[in-house]
A = this chain, B = another copy of it.
Amino acid sequence: MTAEPLFTLTAGPVQPSAETIRSLATPVYDQFDPYFLELYEDTTENLRIAMGVSSAPVIMHGEAVLGLEAAAASLIARDDVVLNLASGVYGKGYGYWADRYCRELLEIEVPYNEVIEPAAVEAMFVERPDIAVVAVVHSETPSGTLNPVGDIAAICDKNGALLIVDAVSSFGAVEVDFEGWPADLVVVGPQKALGGPPGLSLLYVSEDAWAKIDANPDAPTASMLSISDWRNAHKAEVKFPFTPSTVEIYALNSTVDQYLREGPEAAWTRHDRVAAATRAGIKGLGLELWPVNEAICSPALTAFKLPDGSSGADVRQHCREHYGVMISGGYGELTDSLLRIGHMGPTAHPIFSAVSVAAVGQTLLDLGVEVDVGSGVAAAMARVAEPAA
């Protein structure tokens, strides 16, 4: 049997905190038990506060892809023109789901080391004022980039289109301004910056989005894919459509509580600092970041180019086997282009940049790539140092 990893520094799911792990070791109670009903209601309320929104979010009982598929199935009506914004593998992939439900799919696609230009979205609306729904990924996990969703949202709002946002790996790592942007259907995952296990989708649904879903005869009901079924399920007096995933709720309760105790701003700063340190470390090693510039880098993970002549699979395997450190490779079309270091949730502390940079650096050295491990780690640490009091 392969040994457990010493460090999981991947694009997620991430290493949970001791407190989160402890929360999972709670007996399963009946879904109708008053204790569980209260816990579910409290968890939803705390999640609402953590999201900074005015109405109850919807918890769906499957990994974040459930929420993303359900969003397409529910919000997109058969006569809709949908604009999909593809700046990476996930964004591109969302178009396939959207296409399943809409009349016409438009797409703006940019190279996967860049982000969407708001001006291009603006221009598309001029050309096609009939766009009803726009879909965008906030933190494009496979690329390590962060789309300017705020600017895009303002354009959608002005043009009367509803906006679906995949904020799975951004929520908790950077501000997601649900109602301020505004966005209409935002999908968050507990297994990234919140540091929970994968197994739930957390949805913000705007009033406009609810109205459109209610009016959509094809929106799933009495189905795993239904968002509506769960709209009021957090209320103790409303029955669950089916048995919720008990232990996932325990973990969500715990991670949201930890997030609120720390404070969102503090969590964002923490992700910012470790991201900056990791980027400094990667550059210090002599490697190149994947995104075209640092301004568009996601604070949740750092993607860097695979050095010439090396195999991503070999690097990852060596790093895992010799140093116990698990990192992520490229995904989909980017498999042979880049490697990724996650710094989300409990590993979003600057000191972890020393671990990832040292392990990746030494691995590359071991495999014959010329990198400067010392410069890498020193640069990472220098970036996070704070003056002594």
Contacts and interface: CB of A to CB of B under 8 A. Distances in A.
A5 B28 contact: no
Contact of A191 (B32, B243, B365): B243
A367 to B, nearest CB: 5
B62 A30 contact: no
Interface string A19-62: 00111111111111111001000000000000000000000011
A344 to B, nearest CB: 12
A382 B375 CA distance: 14
A33 B320 contact: yes
B35 A15 contact: no
A362 B381 contact: yes
A69 B244 CA distance: 16
A358 B381 contact: yes
Q: Give the most central of A23, A355, A367: most B CB within 10 Å.
A: A355
Contact of A326 (B29, B374, B388): B29
B385 A377 contact: no
Contacts of A352: 6
A198 B242 CA distance: 10
A351 B6 CA distance: 9
Contact of A358 (B25, B63, B191, B354): B354
Contacts of A14: 28
B373 A388 contact: no
Interface string A351-365: 110110011011001
A166 interface: no
Contacts of A278: none
Q: Give the most central of A35, A244, A358: most B CB within 10 Å.
A: A358
12 contacts: A1-B38, A3-B35, A4-B17, A15-B27, A32-B326, A63-B244, A69-B224, A96-B222, A351-B355, A358-B358, A373-B374, A373-B381
Given A24-B247, A29-B326, A247-B248, 4 more contacts: A14-B28, A65-B242, A358-B381, A374-B375
Interface of A: 1-8, 10, 12-18, 21-35, 38, 61-66, 69-70, 96-97, 191, 197-199, 222-225, 242-248, 251, 314, 318, 320, 322-326, 328, 349-352, 354-355, 358-359, 361-362, 365-368, 372-382, 384-388
